[in-house]
């Protein structure tokens, strides 16, 4: 015997609009884990944004180093080149500027301008990219 309080749902009563075709993004802490409409491979291959450590920001302010959008684009290209060769921590030399960068994390660790490059020793790097 069926309970009269239980309502039966006919399959024809369920429309596609009740269920989204693409699931919403899944959140993991503060980071977006998945994005709608993207494959797993596309999510994995996405680039991290270029960031600057607190130390690098202090050095850039102290040395009055200003980076234009074009400079940031060049730095990103240099990081991509270094990453394609398997670099982990690189010295990037661009114009009158030296940057030590964590390639995997895309983080500028420190910045040195032209007048301070001479007689400077760069340690904990495994590669250099010169443009």
Picking from 96, 102, 92, the residue whose alpha carbon sits closest to that of residue 53 is 102
Read off the pLDDT band of 88 (50, 70, 90): very high
- Spatial distance between the Cα atoms of 62 and 44, rounded to a whole number of angstroms: 36
114-125 confidence digits (pLDDT tens):
888 887 899 999
CA R_g for the chain: 25
- Spatial distance between the Cα atoms of 42 and 100, rounded to a whole number of angstroms: 28
12-55 confidence digits (pLDDT tens):
554 444 444 455 555 544 444 444 555 555 455 556 799 999 99
- What dihedral do alpha carbons 18, 19, 21, 24 form, nearest 10°? 110
Read off the DSSP letter of residue 7. P
Percent of the chain's residues with pLDDT above 70: 64
Burial class (CB in 10 A: 0-12, 13-18, 19+), 18: exposed
Note the pLDDT of residue 16: 45
């Amino acid at each position: 015997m069926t309970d009269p309080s239980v309502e039966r749902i006919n399959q024809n009563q369920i429309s596609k609009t009740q269920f989204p075709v693409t699931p919403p993004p899944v959140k993991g802490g503060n980071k977006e884990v998945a994005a709608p409409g993207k494959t797993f491979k596309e999510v994995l291959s996405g680039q991290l944004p270029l960031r600057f450590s607190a130390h690098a920001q202090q050095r850039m302010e102290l040395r009055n180093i200003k980076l234009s959008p074009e400079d940031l684009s060049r730095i990103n290209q240099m990081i991509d080149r270094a990453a394609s060769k398997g670099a982990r921590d690189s010295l990037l030399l661009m114009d009158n500027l030296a940057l030590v960068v964590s390639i995997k994390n895309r983080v500028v660790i420190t910045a040195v301008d032209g007048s301070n490059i001479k007689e400077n020793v760069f340690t904990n790097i495994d590669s250099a990219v010169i443009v």
